[in-house]
Amino acid sequence: QVQLVASGGGLVQAGGSLRLSCAASGRTFSNYLMGWFRQAPGKEREFVAAITRSGGSTQSADSVKGRFTISRDNAKNTVYLQMDSLKSEDTAVYYCAASRGALLKPRSLRPSEFDYWGQGTQVTVSS
């Protein structure tokens, strides 16, 4: 069992930045591929970014590429999402997730490929 606690959301103006954090506990953090998803009202949960167990490779959705950066610190059992140049369309609840078996693929990862989820943190971007 892995427990994930996301934090760092808030209200920011368009063009601004936020840094989300997700602290993990319960199992060996470095055994899990980590990801960030988001869900806007009335929409399905969508992939944002993922990072391999070692942190050596990352993948991002086209909609955030060049603006968002995922990273992890295995010594601190934490994964981060640095969000820059925020847009109003980035407004959503952001969830971190952990996967035992998933690998990065030449397509967006699906929520069903992740085993554990954090509680979500709200990001609101005002235009």
Q: What is the pLDDT of residue 70?
A: 98
50-85: b or e for each residue (b if 16 or more CB lie within 10 Å)? Answer: bbbbeeeebbbbeebeeebbbebebeebbbbbebee
Instruction: Name beta bridge partners: 57.
Output: none
Reported confidence tier of residue 101, pLDDT bands at 50, 70, 90? confident
CA-to-CA distance for 47 and 27, rounded, in angstroms? 24
- Rounded CA-CA distance 126/37 in Å is 20
pLDDT tens per residue, range 25-37: 988 999 999 999 9
Predicted pLDDT of residue 13 = 98
What is the C-alpha to C-alpha distance for residues 65 and 47, in angstroms, rounded to an integer? Answer: 12
| 30 within 8 A of 54, measured Cβ to Cβ | yes
pLDDT score recorded for residue 89: 97
Segment 4-33 shows an average pLDDT of: 96
Q: What pLDDT is stored for residue 26 in this prediction?
A: 86
Structure-model confidence comparison of residues 102 and 87, the more confident one: 87
Q: Any idea what DSSP says for residue 91? A: -
Considering Cα of 68, then 18, then 10, then 113, what sign does the dihedral take?
positive
Average pLDDT in the chain: 96
**How much of the chain, in percent, has pLDDT values that exceed 70?**
100
Residue 81 three-state SS:
strand
Q: Is the pLDDT of residue 105 over 90?
A: no
